[in-house]
Structure 1
């Protein structure tokens, strides 16, 4: 799997938030010789708490046909018993038996996704074990807080002289990386025996076809420990470390770049401020001060941030949709969409029956879903995943901007207009490098494969010009592979 990120593009400098007149553009030379391009998959999706059979079906029916590159799973190992979502993040063994399915179901899911052209990224919880005194895991493993049969004993865990042994001071690197996070038994990940056990677990996942790992709580392990574990892994898996940037703290994402990639949390936080404020053009500068594009995995929300309200989420309805358009429109980082379920209590788990998560049945799209509804938000942007695959690494062209709306080409392969106005339509006439033809809107499509997907192209490019009507809080995205003429 190539690094799913694109090189930076040169942007037109823009000043201010809401100009009264559109920014002038120059007329590009049309290139009608371009008929279509081979898509290069780039966009991923986090299917949070989806069980393995449901993930496999989604790969076949939606992700593969719409040019998604990979799926990010929830943790696969055995965990403590409980309906809350975070029980998945409290391992008690490394058996691949969990509320999301069995080992056989996991292996079948990976194979099914690969057949659909979709890679699989596992969520690797390797910093810690459980955060409770003891009990029996979902697959029957008996354990105590510091005793996990066949894996770890008391000498394999850090102890700290802080209240409850927990992290108190986040500006103390040693405390952050050796004390417990919310009572979770913190592994001595620098010890060879512990590393060997972790490597065996991750190699087991690799043997089943897993293509890479999200390293959960990487910030709470010294980057040297993570590097030593990764160096021992079989093959060359994709590595994406979870390292949340905080300016006042000693541990930063850059510390982990020699290991692989990182999640760009700041992009999500910035979008949460820019979209409600209407300054959509500033979203094109989110790369400034961030890690290199080829090592950044970007997102609008994830399972943690949607619960602590640090980012936009489904609860923000149209603002959330606009933020996802902005995420996908620009060539910075590898975009990861998100798909979860509606909730009212932040601890609330996915719908379950007899300790197992139910199969996913997508609810009818609504701005006010019922708790427990599977939202399947990524399906709204399935056409945009294909758009990104088609535009590839083409740079951003001249920027059109009017009020809270922006638009630009991506070379001669695609064009996008995003309207961040809450009540006003826009209908700019834009210059474009797209070849002449009648185009359909990739941002508002039936599923890939539908016969009427682009029966009547309503956006007509002629002699380097196109008029693009866009309703409030929506987008129009055109690309050369989606034309009716």
Structure 2
């Protein structure tokens, strides 16, 4: 049966509102975060450095996020659009998000909160402005002229398709030697260019950065990225943006030798299941669907690019069903998850909230900034992910349609009901020790208490509960009441 997607109905349901509206509760201190490896990344897209620092202290650390991904910090072209940050004109750490000193202060604040920092690094190209100009921090530049850094000989000039732009994604050479929408394509096979790029990344490492999201990795041969990585002053986490294209010669699997790779199929497949298929299909989600090996896959429901492609993925606009999809991502053991945190936008090119000079304003959640990473059904599931790290899936249940449940090998249990009706009169086998557990979908656990519903698991590992339509219940060993 083709399923309905009823955004207005979702928004109207009070139970769904509880998934996305913060509850009044005191978060535990960072030291009280559930034990275990903390791998969840919060992508605070286009947040300024002062706001990131504050969020690490007040939310990310206490909620157990292990990493924060920050937007490109280097000097960029001027403009109000979101994509200006992806058009660098120098490697100075000075942008509309803040100064070098503010960036360093942010890194230190996040580290003090137990949160590592991964930088979105734009290293495949420079700007796409034919006429050049003056960058954010005052550097002059031309399309192929960046004084003291690069000149025309440091770029590819492929001369195809009546210009230099990529036209055929089935041509490996063209994808990696022509320009992506007029962006000056760096000659990354050149040792000089590699050394320059590594110098920028090493500068960030000197400021305490812990890893890099390598933007537009598909447009650089994996060997070029490996060579740049070999010039780094110390080890760093690397995740590469390689968008899968069916039948294309360049595939994400080529890049796993350098580090993690973004699995773009994950968010699209998850959106399709939640919108029009059956949650029962998720039983082998991940590698069983032809996705990258779990140990190399970086996954997300949406990111700053895909949320601007209408209909392709779930986004903050989908409200309750978006919260449920993120809860599933954090409950399911495939890949390393990133939670998107957006600002509100109505036009594709719209940039973040900014003042008259273009400087990014402080993030004020729910007033121009969506802050999905704070939604209770998402933020509280970070603790679930931490508590269940390394535990396999067991005790899978589905009703053949849109009610699923599974345990994480004695450490946690999640049931999701995306039917249009409540599931009542059921008991669930968790495999968890007997006890009282906080339902972290609806309540915050801290100091041995729960701000929401409490689930009682009996001596045989079972609990009974009703699950409303388009809702979920999640319990885990790190949120067991004393």
* TM score, norm. by length of structure 1: 0.88
Equivalent residue of 2:395, what SS?
coil
Higher relative CO (CA 8 A, sep ≥ 6), structure 1 or 2?
A: 1
Alpha-carbon displacement from aligned partner over 1:418-471 (angstroms, at most 9, x marks no partner):
11123434452012211111111112234x65x685167621111221013222
Q: Which residue in 2 is equivalent to 1:428?
A: 426
Q: Which residue in 1 is equivalent to 2:208?
A: 209
Matched, 1:139 2:142: no
Q: Which residue in 1 is equivalent to 2:343?
A: 341
Alpha-carbon displacement from aligned partner over 1:357-415 (angstroms, at most 9, x marks no partner):
00001017xxxxxxxx2000011111100111011111111112124111111111111
d(CA) in 1 for partners of 2:207, 2:443: 34
Displacement after TM superposition at 1:17 (Å): 11
d(CA) in 2 for partners of 1:148, 1:132: 12
Equivalent residue of 1:114, what SS?
helix
d(CA) in 2 for partners of 1:112, 1:396: 36
d(CA) in 1 for partners of 2:467, 2:452: 17
Q: Which residue in 2 is equivalent to 1:32?
A: none
d(CA) in 1 for partners of 2:66, 2:181: 34
Displacement after TM superposition at 1:276 (Å): 1.1
d(CA) in 1 for partners of 2:331, 2:77: 40
Q: Which residue in 2 is equivalent to 1:461?
A: 457
Q: Which residue in 1 is equivalent to 2:361?
A: 358
Q: Which residue in 2 is equivalent to 1:154?
A: 152
Identify if the C-alpha distance between structure 1 residues 206 and 284 changes in structure 2 by more than 3 Å, giving closer, same or farther.
farther
Alpha-carbon displacement from aligned partner over 1:208-247 (angstroms, at most 9, x marks no partner):
0100100000000111111111111111111101001112
Q: Which residue in 2 is equivalent to 1:29?
A: none
Displacement after TM superposition at 1:248 (Å): 1.6
Q: Which residue in 2 is equivalent to 1:416?
A: 414
d(CA) in 2 for partners of 1:39, 1:413: 12
Q: Which residue in 2 is equivalent to 1:54?
A: 51
Displacement after TM superposition at 1:46 (Å): 0.7
User: Does structure 2 retain, via aligned residues, the 8 Å contact 1:124–1:214?
Assistant: yes
Q: How many residues align?
A: 443
d(CA) in 1 for partners of 2:463, 2:58: 33
Residues 30-429 of structure 1 mapped to structure 2, 5 A cutoff: 38-133=35-130, 134-161=132-159, 162-287=161-286, 288=288, 289-309=290-310, 310-353=312-355, 354-363=357-366, 373-380=368-375, 381-402=378-399, 403-426=401-424, 428-429=426-427
d(CA) in 1 for partners of 2:319, 2:128: 35
Residues 11-30 of structure 1 mapped to structure 2, 5 A cutoff: none
User: Does structure 2 retain, via aligned residues, the 8 Å contact 1:445–1:453?
Assistant: no
d(CA) in 2 for partners of 1:140, 1:37: 46
Displacement after TM superposition at 1:278 (Å): 4.5
Equivalent residue of 2:89, what SS?
coil
Displacement after TM superposition at 1:348 (Å): 0.2
d(CA) in 2 for partners of 1:314, 1:205: 31
Equivalent residue of 1:248, what SS?
coil
Alpha-carbon displacement from aligned partner over 1:334-356 (angstroms, at most 9, x marks no partner):
01110011111000000001221
d(CA) in 2 for partners of 1:457, 1:424: 17
User: Does structure 2 retain, via aligned residues, the 8 Å contact 1:419–1:426?
Assistant: no
Displacement after TM superposition at 1:37 (Å): 7.0
Equivalent residue of 1:42, what SS?
coil
Q: Which runs of 4+ in 1 moved over 6 A?
A: none
Q: Which residue in 2 is equivalent to 1:5?
A: none
* TM score, norm. by length of structure 2: 0.89
d(CA) in 2 for partners of 1:379, 1:281: 28
Equivalent residue of 1:439, what SS?
strand
1:472 to 462, 469, 473: 469
Q: Which residue in 1 is equivalent to 2:26?
A: none
d(CA) in 2 for partners of 1:249, 1:158: 21
Unpaired runs of 5+ in structure 2? 4-32
